[in-house]
A and B are shown apart, each in its own frame.
Chain A
Amino acid sequence: MTTRDLGTRGDPGGPDRDHPPSTDGAGTFWDLARRDLDGLPGGGLNIAHEAVDRHVRHGRGDRVAIRSIDRRGRPGRSLTYAELAAEVARFANVLADLEIGRGDHVVGLLPRIPEVHVATLGTLKLGAVWCPLFAAFGPDPLRRRLVLGRARALVTTASLYRRRLAGWVHDVPGLDHVLVLTDEDRGGGGEGDGRGEDGEDGDHDEPLPDRTVDLRRAMAAASPARPTAPTRPDDPALLFFTSGTTGTPKGAIHVHEAVVHLHASATRALDLLHDDVFWCTADPGWVTGTAYGVIAPLTHGVTCLVDEGELDAARWYRQLAEHHVSVWYTSPTALRLLARAGADLPHQHDLHRLRLVASVGEPLDAEIVLWTHRAWGVLVHDGWWQTETGGIMIANQPGTPVHPGSMGRPLPGVEATVLRRDTEDRLVHDADGHPVPCAPDEVGELALRAGWPSMFRGYLGRPDLTARCFADGWYLTGDLVRRDADGWYWFVGRRDDVITTAGHLVGPFEIERVLLEHPAVVEAGVVGLPDPVMGEQVKAFVVLAPEATGDAALRRELRALCRTRLGPALAPRAIEVRDELPHTRSGKILRRLLRARELGLPEGDLSTLAIGAAPVTTTGPDRAGRTRGPT
C-alpha cells in the first residue's frame, strides 16, 4: 500500500499522449520536480550535493545513509549522512591531490560495498565523471572499456586487482592512477575498527599492489571538507557502457541534471519516503546500481542497505526482515531464484514492513508476480528503462493496479509511443514525414519523446551512433513492444541481436571475437536462448576449421578461453559445433535466423513469448489474505 496520494502531481492513471507530441505538460512536471532539489547558487546543479550535502545542510545529517553487510553476512560499515558527506569530500580531495579534475573520467571496479557510494559521489562532487564497470568482466571487456572510456583513474579493491587487473592495467594509455582498497572484508562498525577480526577467510588483508595508491591511507590523510564543484545541469557526470550488436561497446554520457529524473522517478515508481529502508540488489557495475543503488535513494534521504553477498534466499529473507526493508528493488532473475527456493522460507520471516517490491532488467513473467503475491503478500511492480534513458521511464506504478507481465505505463513527464517499422526494419513515415505510430496491440519500436532530464547526451566519441538513435524528436529504444488499448506496454523483444542475460545486456560480437581467436574456430555466432531463470542464456555456435575435432575437450577449451578472457558473465554457457551458420548475401551471420531455427520458431519471426494476465489491484487490502507461517 502506498501512503501518498499519487493523484496530486500529474496523472499516472491517464492515457499517455500519442500524437501530436506536446512538451507543455512535461515541462511543467520537470519544472516542479526540480523544485524538490536544492540546486547550487546561480543555477548550478551537482548530484553529490543533492544526494548527501543537502541532507546535512537541512539538519538530517544524523540519519543513517548506509547500512552494509559483508559477503559473509556480517554487519559491515554503517554511515550517517554527515559521515558519508565527510567521506565523499575526502575522496574528492584524494582525487584532487592526484590532479584529477573537472571532466576527468574516474572508473570504478568495485563490489557492492559502501565505498561505491563514497567514490561515486566523491567523483561527482569534484566535477569529474564516474564510470562504473562490472566486476565479473574479464580482462578483454575491461581493457576495451577503460580505453574507450578515456579513464584517467581507476578505483578497485586489492582482491579485484589481483583477479582482474594485475599484469596489464598499467599499460592502458591515459590511465594515470589506480586507487586500491586493501581490506575488502571488514567486520565491525565505523572508522578505525574496520578490520575483519577473524582470519579464517584467507581473502582479506591482501597487500597493496605495486604502482597503486593506497586508498584507505590516502582517505585517512585527506580533509573531510571540500566545496562542491559548481557544475551546470548539462555538465557530464556519469558514463555507462552498454552493448550493441556489432563493434565496440558504447559509452552513454549522462549529465548532472539526471538527478532531477532520478529523484522524481524514485518517488513515482519506487514510492520512496525519507523514513524508508531501501535495498537495491543491482550490481554497482551497471546503470541500475549507480542510478538506484546510489543516487536516487540518497536524494530521498533514506537508509540504503548495501549487501556485498550474492543471492542467497535464506539470507535475503532474513535481511529483509531484520533490517525492516520497506522498498526493495531487484531483478527478475533474483525473483525467479527466490520462487524456486519455495514459499516456506518467506513464511519464516516477518516481512510486514516490505511495502513495495520493484523489478527491472528484463521482462518479469506474470507467474512470478502472482507467486510473490501469494508467498509474500506483495505484488512485484515491473518497470522498463535502459542505460540510455538514465532512469525508470515506464512502470507499474504504486497506487495503480499491477498488470502482471506488463512493463506498465509511462511515468509522469515521460511521453512514449510505439513506432511502426516495415519488413525491411525501416521506420514508416506519414505524408508529412513523421514516423507513424502503431495501432493498439501492433508490435513496433518503443520510442520516447526526447528531452527528459536523465536522457543520455550521446555515446562518447560516437556522434554517428548517437544520431541513429533519434528520429523526428523521438529517442528510439531498440526494444520491440506492443501497447494495448488501455495504454499498458508489453515487451516483445529486441530489434537488434543484443542479449539480455541475468539482467545484463550482452553484445554478441564481443563474445564472437574471442571465440574467433581460437585456431580451431573459423566462424562464430552468439545468441540468447530463453532460460527459465536468467531470461536468456548465452549460447555460441561455432564452425570449425577442417582439421579440428568438435569433441567435448574442444568445447571445454573454448569455454575456458571465454571465461578467462571475458569473465563468467559474458562467457557462453553452451557451445555447439555446426557445419555451417546462416549468412546474409554479404556474408554477415544471421544471428536472428540461427536463434529462430534453434527455437523452432518460424524463420523471420521476431517475437518471444508474450506473457499476459488479468490486472491485480494493489490498492485494496492486498495483505489481508496473507498467510503467515511460524516466525
Chain B
Amino acid sequence: MSAAEAPDVAEVAAIVRRALAGVAPEVELDRLDPDADLQREADLDSMDFLDLVAALRAATGVDIPERDYPHLATPAGCIAYLVQRRRR
C-alpha cells in the first residue's frame, strides 16, 4: 500500500469501525486479526452481516452488490475493497 493511499485507508477504517460498533458493539475492529474471518470473529450472523453491509453502504455511498460480499470476508479485505470502490 503506497503512502498516498494511507489517508483514505484511515478514513475507511474509521467508517468500518463505526459500522461494526453499530452492529456488534462489543467488538473492537482493531483487536481483530486483519486477515481473520470477519463474520466468525465478530460473531455476526447472516442478519448482522446484512446490517453491517447496509451501514457501510450508507456511510460510504458505495453500492455493495451481493456478488462482492466475498470481498468483505476479512477486516483487511473489507477496508481494501471500500477504498478501491470509493476511487471509482
- The answer to whether A and B belong to the same complex is yes
Q: Which residues of A contact B (CB under 8 A)?
A: 71, 136, 159, 163, 200-203, 310-314, 337, 341, 502, 533-534, 556-557, 559-561, 563-564, 567-569, 573
B47 to chain A, nearest CB (A): 6
Q: How far is the CA of A255 from the CA of B69 in the complex (A)?
A: 43
For residue B54, give the distance in angstroms from its CB to the closest CB of chain A. 12
A556-B21, A560-B26 are known contacts. Are A202 and B36 too (CB-CB below 8 A)? yes
> B25, B43, B47, B50: which contacts A567 (Cβ < 8 A)?
B43
Q: Judge whether B66 and A341 touch: CB under 8 Å.
A: yes
In Å, the complex CA distance between A556 and B36 comes to: 24
| Contact B69 A312, beta carbon cutoff 8 Å | yes
Q: Say whether A314 contacts B46, CB under 8 Å.
A: no
What 1/0 mask marks residues of chain B from 10 to 25 whose CB sits below 8 Å from any chain A CB?
0000000000010011
Dominant secondary structure at the B interface: helix
**Is B33 in contact with A573, judged by CB distance below 8 angstroms?**
no
**Is there contact, CB below 8 Å, between A573 and B47?**
yes
A202 and B43 contact, CB distance less than 8 A: no
11 contacts between A and B (CB under 8 A): A159-B40, A202-B35, A310-B46, A337-B46, A533-B47, A534-B47, A563-B24, A563-B25, A567-B43, A568-B45, A573-B47
Hey, which chain B residues are within 8 Å of A314, CB to CB?
66-67
User: In whole angstroms, what is the CA distance A472 to B68 when docked?
Assistant: 57
CA distance A313 to B53 in the complex (A): 15
- B44 located at the interface, meaning its Cβ lies under 8 Å from any Cβ of chain A in the complex: yes
Q: Is the CB of A203 within 8 A of B37?
A: yes
Which residues of B, 41-74, contact A by the 8 Å Cβ criterion?
41, 43-50, 66-67, 69
Chain B residues positioned under 8 Å from A556 (CB to CB): 21, 25
Q: Provided the pairs A202-B33, A560-B25 are in contact, do residues A310 and B43 lie with their beta carbons within 8 angstroms?
A: no
A568 touches B44 (CB 8 A): yes
**Interchain CB contact under 8 A, B36 and A203:** yes
Which residues from A are CB-within-8-Å of B40?
Answer: 159, 163, 203
The complex places the Cα of A337 from the Cα of B49 at a distance, in Å, of 13
Chain A residues with CB below 8 A from B35, complex form:
200, 202
The 9 closest A-B pairs by CB, nearest first: A560-B26, A560-B25, A556-B25, A568-B45, A202-B35, A202-B36, A564-B26, A310-B46, A311-B46
Query: Residues of B within 8 Å of A, CB-based: how many?
Result: 22
Docked Cα-Cα span, A203 to B42, in Å, equals 13
Residue of B nearest to A341 (CB): B66
Q: Please, how many angstroms separate the alpha-carbon atoms of A163 and B37 in the complex?
A: 13
User: Which among A163, A202, A341, A568 is the interface contact of B48 at CB below 8 angstroms?
Assistant: A568
Closest B residue to A569 by CB, please name it: B45
Separation of A502 and B45 alpha carbons in the complex (Å)? 11
B87–chain A nearest beta-carbon distance, Å: 24
Chain A residues with CB below 8 A from B49, complex form: 310
Question: What is the distance, in angstroms, from A286's C-beta to the closest C-beta of chain B?
Answer: 14
Contacting pair B47 A201 (CB below 8 A): no
Q: Give chain B residues whose Cβ lies under 8 Å from the Cβ of A311.
A: 46
Query: Nearest Cβ in chain A — how far from B26, in angstroms?
Result: 4
For B43, the chain A residues whose CB sits under 8 A away are 136, 163, 563, 567-568
Whether B66 contacts A313 by the Cβ 8 Å rule is: yes
Residues on the B chain within 8 Å of A573, using CB: 47
Contacts of A310 in B (CB 8 A): 39, 45-46, 49
Q: Find chain A residues with CB under 8 A from B50 CB.
A: 337
Q: Tell me the complex Cα distance, A560–B20, Å.
A: 12
| A-B contacts besides A202-B37, A502-B45, A563-B25, 12 pairs, CB < 8 Å | A71-B37, A136-B43, A163-B40, A201-B37, A202-B35, A203-B40, A310-B39, A310-B45, A310-B49, A313-B66, A559-B25, A561-B26
Q: Contact: A563 with B26, CB < 8 Å?
A: yes
B46 contacts which chain A residues (CB < 8 A)?
310-311, 337, 502
Q: How far is the CB of A268 from chain B (nearest CB, A)?
A: 30
Question: Which chain A positions have C-beta within 8 A of B21?
Answer: 556
The CA of A561 and the CA of B37, in the complex, are separated in Å by: 22
Minimum Cβ distance to chain B for residue A309 (Å): 10
Complex alpha-carbon distance, A490 and B46, angstroms: 28
Nearest chain A residue, comparing its CB with the CB of B40 = A203
- Bound-state Cα–Cα, A409 to B81, Å: 49
Chain A residues with Cβ under 8 A from B26's Cβ?
A: 560-561, 563-564
Residue of B nearest to A533 (CB): B47
In the bound assembly, the distance between CA atoms of A2 and B39 in angstroms comes to 39
In the bound complex, residues from chain B placing their C-beta under 8 Å from that of A533 are 47
| Smallest CB gap from A563: residue in B | B26
Q: Shortest distance in angstroms between A113's beta carbon and chain B's nearest beta carbon? A: 14
With the chains together, A310 CA to B43 CA distance in Å?
13
Nearest B residue to A313 via CB reads B66
Q: Tell me how far the C-beta of A499 lies from the nearest C-beta in chain B, rounded to whole angstroms.
A: 14
CB distance from A308 to the nearest CB of B (A): 11
Instruction: Give, as a whole number of angstroms, the nearest-CB distance from A138 to chain B.
Output: 8
Q: Which residues of B contact A568 (CB under 8 A)?
A: 24, 43-45, 48
- The reply to whether B45 and A136 contact each other, CB–CB distance below 8 Å, is yes
**Would you call B47 and A557 a contact (CB within 8 A)?**
no
Q: What's the nearest-Cβ distance from chain B to residue A588, in Å? A: 30
Q: Once the chains are docked, how many angstroms separate the CA of A563 from the CA of B43? A: 9
**Chain A residue, CB-CB nearest to B24:** A563
Taking the nearest CB of chain B, how far is it from the CB of A575, in angstroms? 11
Q: How far is the CB of A42 from chain B (nearest CB, A)?
A: 47
